[in-house]
Amino acid sequence: MKIVAQVKLLPASAYDADALAATLRACNRAANHASSVAFAKDLKRRNVLQGEVYFALKADYDLGAQPAVRVVKKVCDAYATLKGNIKAGNLGREGSKRRLRAESKPIAFREDAAQPFDDRILTWNLDARTVSIWTVAGRIKHIPFVCSAQAMKLLASRKGESDLVLRDGKFFLIATVDLPEPEVFEPDGFLGVDLGIVNIATTSDGEIMAGRRLNRYRRRHRDLRQKLQKKRTKSAKRALKRLRRREARHAANTNHVIAKQLVATAERTSRGIALEDLSGIRQRVTAKKDQRARLHSWAFAQLGAFVEYKARRAGVPVVFVDPRNTSRQCSECKHTHRTNRVTQARFVCRSCGAVLHADHNGSRNIAHRGEAVWKRGAVNRPRTSPR
């Protein structure tokens, strides 16, 4: 399986930092030129587009041979991703309008957008913790980098491209790591996980990961942003720049912690994990005005992705189930009615009288559906022991 490891570059001088920034600008200007040609002449295949723009990228944008090839590949990958999103309908609530806008003009790249480097133009020295990288000012050697101990372990399995990223005036390399994927074991039942806003995750074991702290953190940052935006002073703008992405990093860290806990519980008990397939929920749900910010900041897709990749690394099976009526169906007698959900937190079955926490009841329904999905799809699956 492929995951990424991030390291922070520490250019030794302002000259090195300027060379890296100039390289990003040159590559992205070249990408915009290649994108315009690809759009105007409908050349979306890599070999065809490369033959059309290769010499122009080298002559007009001071790119070497291999950087020019990487730029062409980046442009073709961007158009392939756009085509896939249009085909799958992943363009949000105003999908038709976004599709028209996307199809009416070429893809544009920011001057500081990430640029992929392969092993011909980027060399890693893990022992010395340095890299050697091609720039428009020549190859810069022995650039130090820092990262976590976990990232260093992952870099030993690095394979493929690494992206140079400029973020808040700092340079990062995001490397692709190819790890061996363990064989998925045959689960002894499933751990159902109900995802929500009030409670981020609730398991079929009755464990609740409340979202109160995260929601308070989001609300505090939202109020602070509004206060600073009203001031319109230079110091307020500096504060806004300093605070940006802090909320997203905190939410991502919270999701990492929860995902790790869910996977550890499933692995310890030899169970799989069942999640709701919530794709498109923001288009299906109509929220009140005061609830829209909470709905659109709900990072359920990120949490699901974290659970899925951590489970794959541990060999834990993961299934996604239909979320319809999981909050209205009784997990004891299967009676389904909208009045069963008395309040956000209380579930009372009108048929058998079972009283449960609403999210716990939903997670139990998800666990049952997960077992059914696994049985339907695992007829010829070999049995293996969990790690």
Tens digits of per-residue pLDDT, 125-151? 999 999 999 999 999 999 999 999 999
Residue 125 β-bridge partners:
130
* CB-CB neighbours of 334 under 10 Å: 12
**20 falls in which pLDDT band (50, 70, 90)?**
very high
**pLDDT 10s digits, 46-59:** 999 999 999 999 99
Average pLDDT over residues 357-375: 92
pLDDT at residue 381 greater than cutoff 50: no
**Least confidently predicted of 190-194, 241-245, 303-307:** 241-245
Greater confidence (189 vs 291) lies with 189
Greater confidence (99 vs 11) lies with 11
pLDDT at 178: 85
Average pLDDT score, the chain: 87
The alpha carbon dihedral of 81, 373, 324, 343 has a sign of negative
Residue with tokens 């990232």: 151
Per-position DSSP letters for 212-229, written without gaps between them: HHHHHHHHHHHHHHHHHH
Cβ proximity of 209 and 357 under 8 Å: no
pLDDT at 383: 39
* DSSP E strand boundaries for the chain: 2-9, 115-117, 122-125, 130-133, 140-146, 158-167, 170-178, 190-195, 199-203, 208-210, 272-276, 318-321, 346-348, 355-357
Give the CA distances from residue 383 to residues 166, 274, 319, in Å, rounded to whole numbers and listed in that order: 46, 19, 17
pLDDT at residue 387 greater than cutoff 60: no
Cβ proximity of 8 and 146 under 8 Å: yes
Total H helices, total E strands in the chain:
12, 14
pLDDT at residue 292 greater than cutoff 60: no
**Least confidently predicted of 84-93, 95-104, 196-205, 262-271:** 95-104
pLDDT at 85: 79
Buried b / exposed e along 62-81 (16+ C-beta atoms within 10 A): ebbeebbbbbbbbbbebbee
pLDDT at residue 384 greater than cutoff 70: no
pLDDT at residue 66 greater than cutoff 90: yes
* CB-CB neighbours of 374 under 10 Å: 19
pLDDT at 344: 83
pLDDT at 78: 93
Average pLDDT over residues 284-298: 58
**Predicted structure pTM score:** 0.77
pLDDT at 385: 39
Average pLDDT over residues 263-283: 86
Average pLDDT over residues 76-98: 74
SS3 184: coil
Cβ proximity of 9 and 154 under 8 Å: no
pLDDT at residue 345 greater than cutoff 90: no
Q: How far apart are alpha carbons 149 and 85 in whole angstroms? A: 36
Cβ proximity of 271 and 224 under 8 Å: no
* CB-CB neighbours of 241 under 10 Å: 11
pLDDT at 232: 87
Average pLDDT over residues 16-32: 96
pLDDT at 301: 83
